[in-house]
Amino acid sequence: MRVIGIDPGLRNLGWGVIDVAGARLSHVANGICHSDGATDDLARRLCSLHAQLTEVFRLYQPETAAVEHTFVNKDAVATLKLGQARGIALLVPAQFGLEVGEYAPNAVKKTVVGVGHAAKVQVDHMVRLHLPGVQIAGPDAADALAVAICHSHHVQSAGRLQQALRRAAG
């Protein structure tokens, strides 16, 4: 199973792709889609993120996707703009016919690090342990890989539950 995790951001939208075979995870690719707030208006920035993320999906052909929930901060305008970038992160997988898992940042950290309030450096460290030898493009890509790892665990758990229910009913 090929999983893409997305860490939405208007300036830096992180993405990470992993392959999952049973309990084995392997790194495929990761990166950051950038938009320039200094020269482009919001519509152009969103269009740029959409085009870049669409190319990532075209290149790596994930089978399932997951997006991190955004947090609401004190700046309502910034939160709204981040929400619009999150819309791009949800739209692109839907355009490829994929269902999208959504996870709170604390759920991702709890799954990957074991602690819901882990620091970014701890997330990065644990991603490197899960994916030995990975070269991470930056903190946003590390977070996206963590989202992919989290989703892979949840998808596998759901699959095992469904198998157990079928056996019990059978």
* Catalytic residue list: 7, 68, 140
* Residue 21 structure tokens: 């075979």
Beta bridge partners of 57: none
Nearest to 102 by CA among 120, 88, 90: 90
124 is in an annotated binding site: no
Q: How many helices (H) and strands (E) does the chain have?
A: 5, 5
* Residue 74 structure tokens: 């004190």
7 is in an annotated binding site: yes
In whole angstroms, give the CA distance from residue 87 to residue 16. 18
68 is in an annotated binding site: yes
Query: Which residue is listed with tokens 């450096």?
Result: 121
In whole angstroms, give the CA distance from residue 162 to residue 119. 34
User: Binding site: residue ranges?
Assistant: 7, 68, 140
User: Binding site for Mg(2+): residue ranges?
Assistant: 7, 68, 140
